[in-house]
Amino acid sequence: MVVNVSSLSVPLVKSPQVMGVLNLTPDSFYDGGQYQDVDAVLFRIEAMIEEGADWIDIGAVSSRPGSQSISLEEEMKRLTPIVTRFRSRFDVPFSLDTYQSEVLDWALGYGVGMLNCIRPVHQNPDLVSILAQSGLPVVLMHMLGTPERMQDCPEYEHVTQTLYDYFETGLRELKQAGVHEVILDPGIGFGKRLDHNMTILRDLHRFLDLGAPMMVGLSRKSFIGDISGARVSDRLPGSLVSAIYAYQKGAHFFRVHDVAETKQALLVAQALCGEPSC
């Protein structure tokens, strides 16, 4: 299947896009608290770029299940030393994982290349206004509830159709507001049980009918541990299998912790499969 992504100003067609995750948080589920100073963070960014990252996804607010929100001031405090230095030091683009319009507006002055918002961006008039005026690509992700409570007994009558309807509505409302460069993310693990996650991944190709590229965040997620019993630190094999499967189902962007390994796996999958959905 060929997806019409000609309007998106980021490269999608030639190869899958690997986004290296940079968590500037003390409590993220995998790498929280690893980077205690600016030099360590910049070194990590450089390492991911050398490993083949096409994008760096920067976030300062944890979205793991049960995590608490932080103040705008604290988010800015965590982001400022990195965002203000990024474009002068690195050639790859960076996306910003935030739902604060003030943060996005500020980051535009430092060359942010994409908004990666875990909350319903089409329901935030301030974010929509900034996106429409700037032309910035945005990720429309599905999450049931909030990170604090999203895993408290999530229920769906038909999970794939629920997400399809959510994306269809979001795309329509964003387009009507002048936001045309939208990437869809089904939000694996965000308000979903194991059976929900499995159904969504098996049905991932269905969302291609909406005419927008797709992003997935599967790296070291809890569903891999639910299936295999592996701890977070031992979930690389399951992460790679999941990424390859999602690529075959039509995903374009892959938000990952293990850049080199994922990049190699996807390049081999691309060589073997040719077009996605092989």
Q: Where are the beta strands (DSSP E) in the chain?
A: 17-23, 55-59, 94-97, 114-117, 138-141, 182-185, 215-216, 253-256
Q: What is the pTM of this model?
A: 0.89
Per-residue pLDDT tens listing for the chain (278 residues): 233 333 444 444 458 999 999 999 875 544 545 656 899 899 999 999 999 999 999 999 877 666 577 899 999 999 999 999 999 999 999 999 999 999 999 999 999 999 999 999 999 999 999 999 999 999 999 998 766 665 666 789 999 999 999 999 999 999 999 999 999 999 999 999 999 999 999 999 999 999 999 999 999 999 999 999 999 999 999 999 999 999 999 999 999 999 999 999 999 999 998 766 55
Tell me if 266 sits within 8 A of 248, measured CB to CB.
Answer: no
Q: What residues act catalytically? A: 221, 255
Domains and CATH numbers, the chain: 17-273 (3.20.20.20)
